[in-house]
Chains A and B, each alone.
Chain A
Amino acid sequence: MALLAAALLLATPPLRLPAMDGATHRLADYRGKVVLVNFWATWCEPCRTELPSIERLRAALAHEAFVVLAVQMGGSARTARDVAEELGLGFPMLLDRDSKVTEAWGVNLLPTTFLIAPDGAVASRQVGELDWSAPEARRRVEALLPRSTR
Chain B
Amino acid sequence: MRSELRSFVLGKARVPRRPEDLTDQTPLLTDGWLRSVHLPELLLLMERLRGTPIDVENLKAGDFRDIDTLMARFGPAARLDTVSGLDTVSGLDTAP
Chains A and B come from one and the same complex: no
